[in-house]
A and B are shown apart, each in its own frame.
Chain A
Amino acid sequence: MVQINNAIRKLDKGALPVWYEIPLGGTLVSEGSTEYKTGGWRTKRPIWDPEDCSHCLICWIYCPEMAIQVKDGKITGIDTTLCKGCGICAQECPRDKAMTMAEGGDY
């Protein structure tokens, strides 16, 4: 059976795993679900303005998608592959222009 499966694998790279490749007991072995891109859900998109941003990180603590990228205590950008466009960041931002929402999901 393993040989047949290996032969299929050679022909079809995207073939689903077979029963003996699935972990026992329904155990999940993946390291985070970031490979599942939820950015396609977006109908509005956040626009971050680094000039106006004071790096208070309020958007970071409230972002439900962990999509605000931070390095050394400073915001570096938005992970557009994960952001679902809920707009909490723009709503909670204490400044006027630092984080705003625009219509449409595509950047």
Chain B
Amino acid sequence: MASLRELSQKEVLFTGGHRLCAGCPAPIVVKQALLAAPRAPIIVQPTCCLEISSAVFPYTAWKTPYYHNAFENAAAVASGIEAAVKALKKRGKLDAGKDYYIICIGGDGGTYDIGFQALSGMLERGHRVLYICYDNGAYMNTGIQRSGATPYGAWTTTSHVGEAQKGKQQHRKDLAWIAAAHGAYVANASLHNWRDFMRKVEKALNYEGSSFINIQAPCPRGWRFPENMTVEIARLGTETCFYPLFEVEDRGQKWVINYTPKNKLPITEYLKPQGRFAHFFQKDNEYLIEEFQAEVDRRWEHLQRLAKMSAE
């Protein structure tokens, strides 16, 4: 992996001037992903924060081939582009010796919920596409509605906090595990660890088959924290094992944990700076913290067991 000094010699194929909020994690994810790609990839995007803010007519922040499509079929379109590249190579219209990289970037709404069947189809058919989901845990683009990725107890505009309920009632869906069941190359990453994320992107682009990377992307607007804390919150998410860094290879057989915190922090460290969890710290709501911590521990222990089993 190249050092930052070497990376800075490369042109970033995503420019400023986009309309994303100050402190938005999405452009950080895009910058790191594009720097890791050996050459300009073809970008496919469903509707998401990043799409509506980076490609506003007549401007575009992308210096790569770019395709925008509807919410539910980004992975299907990416599959089609991959098939078209293959066909054109066969007919000699594209250089057969060259690698054409296709990256699909979607938010968690377009990946966990709406675009899920297209993603599942793409992973099952094994198209050589990298799907990156920047997971900000709600439909931020339309105004912070709950999604399958929203954590337990979090406030959103469709999971209210009041007497009848305290935020979202369900635990979040673990999409990386579902993707791993398809036999694709799957990784969980976080934007604070650029080295780990970029290594995973490089590996995924050179992988013969589908790959899926889920990356933690804390949203200052929806998660209710000051905009300079984006990277710090991501770091806390990994240090508390809420968002562990791992990868799955060999058709779902080999589970590797890439980072184990020296001191696993209590989940309150992660919850406290975020306004969407403010009701966790009110009177008589301690059970929410206990429930949250128990679920984090359960998933972390399960992951450790899988990693141990595949190491044997």
Partner-B contacts on A (CB < 8 A): 26, 28-38, 41-42, 56-58, 60-67, 70, 72-73, 79, 82, 84-88, 90-92, 101
Q: Determine if B228 and A82 form an interchain contact, defined as CB atoms under 8 angstroms apart.
A: no
Which residue on B lies nearest to A31, using beta carbons? B63
Q: Determine if B228 and A101 form an interchain contact, defined as CB atoms under 8 angstroms apart.
A: yes
Q: A31-B63, A64-B28, A66-B14 are in contact. Are A86 and B7 (CB under 8 A)?
A: no
Distance of A105 from chain B, by nearest CB (Å):
11
Which residue on B lies nearest to A79, using beta carbons? B16
* B265 beta carbon closer than 8 Å to chain A: no
Q: Determine if A33 and B16 form an interchain contact, defined as CB atoms under 8 angstroms apart.
A: yes
Which residue on B lies nearest to A72, using beta carbons? B9
Which of chain A's residues have a CB closer than 8 A to the CB of B231? 62, 88, 91-92
Q: Determine if A87 and B16 form an interchain contact, defined as CB atoms under 8 angstroms apart.
A: no
Q: Determine if B8 and A70 form an interchain contact, defined as CB atoms under 8 angstroms apart.
A: yes
CA of A64 to CA of B17 in the docked complex: distance in angstroms? 10
CA of A92 to CA of B25 in the docked complex: distance in angstroms? 14
Which residue on A lies nearest to B55, using beta carbons? A28
Q: Give the residue of A34, A37, A57, A87 whose beta carbon is less than 8 angstroms from that of B23.
A: A87
Q: What would be 13 A-B contacts, judged by CB atoms less than 8 Å apart?
A: A30-B58, A32-B61, A32-B63, A33-B61, A36-B59, A57-B8, A64-B20, A82-B17, A87-B23, A87-B226, A88-B23, A88-B231, A90-B228
Q: Give the residue of B60, B229, B230 whose beta carbon is less than 8 angstroms from that of A32.
A: B60
Q: Determine if B57 and A28 form an interchain contact, defined as CB atoms under 8 angstroms apart.
A: yes
Q: Determine if B228 and A87 form an interchain contact, defined as CB atoms under 8 angstroms apart.
A: yes
- Besides the contacts A28-B60, A32-B15, A64-B24, what 14 more A-B pairs have beta carbons closer than 8 Å? A28-B55, A32-B60, A34-B17, A37-B17, A58-B4, A61-B7, A61-B31, A63-B28, A64-B20, A66-B14, A73-B9, A91-B229, A91-B232, A101-B228
Which of chain B's residues have a CB closer than 8 A to the CB of A82? 16-17
Using a Cβ–Cβ cut-off of 8 Å, how many residues does chain B contribute to the interface with A? 44
Q: Determine if B194 and A33 form an interchain contact, defined as CB atoms under 8 angstroms apart.
A: no
CA of A63 to CA of B5 in the docked complex: distance in angstroms? 15
Partner-A contacts on B (CB < 8 A): 4-9, 12, 14-28, 31-32, 54-61, 63, 66, 191, 194, 220, 226-232
Which of chain B's residues have a CB closer than 8 A to the CB of A33? 15-18, 54, 56, 59-61
Which of chain A's residues have a CB closer than 8 A to the CB of B14? 66
Q: Determine if B32 and A91 form an interchain contact, defined as CB atoms under 8 angstroms apart.
A: no
Q: Give the residue of B4, B25, B229 whose beta carbon is less than 8 angstroms from that of A61.
A: B4
CA of A30 to CA of B17 in the docked complex: distance in angstroms? 12
Which of chain B's residues have a CB closer than 8 A to the CB of A61? 4, 7, 28, 31-32, 194
Which of chain A's residues have a CB closer than 8 A to the CB of B19? 36, 38
Which residue on A lies nearest to B17, using beta carbons? A33
CA of A60 to CA of B26 in the docked complex: distance in angstroms? 15
Which of chain A's residues have a CB closer than 8 A to the CB of B59? 28, 30, 33, 35-36
Q: A32-B60, A33-B17 are in contact. Are A64 and B8 (CB under 8 A)?
A: no
Which of chain B's residues have a CB closer than 8 A to the CB of A67? 16
Q: Determine if A65 and B27 form an interchain contact, defined as CB atoms under 8 angstroms apart.
A: yes
CA of A30 to CA of B61 in the docked complex: distance in angstroms? 8
CA of A38 to CA of B24 in the docked complex: distance in angstroms? 14
Q: Determine if B228 and A88 form an interchain contact, defined as CB atoms under 8 angstroms apart.
A: yes
CA of A72 to CA of B26 in the docked complex: distance in angstroms? 26
Which of chain A's residues have a CB closer than 8 A to the CB of B31? 61, 64, 66
Q: Determine if A34 and B57 form an interchain contact, defined as CB atoms under 8 angstroms apart.
A: no
Distance of B233 from chain A, by nearest CB (Å):
11
Q: Determine if A34 and B4 form an interchain contact, defined as CB atoms under 8 angstroms apart.
A: no
Which of chain A's residues have a CB closer than 8 A to the CB of B21? 84
Q: A65-B16, A66-B14 are in contact. Are A41 and B22 (CB under 8 A)?
A: yes
Which of chain A's residues have a CB closer than 8 A to the CB of B57? 26, 28
Q: Determine if A32 and B17 form an interchain contact, defined as CB atoms under 8 angstroms apart.
A: yes
- Enumerate the 6 nearest inter-chain pairs by beta-carbon distance, A residue then B residue, closest first: A87-B228, A32-B15, A86-B23, A33-B17, A82-B16, A84-B22
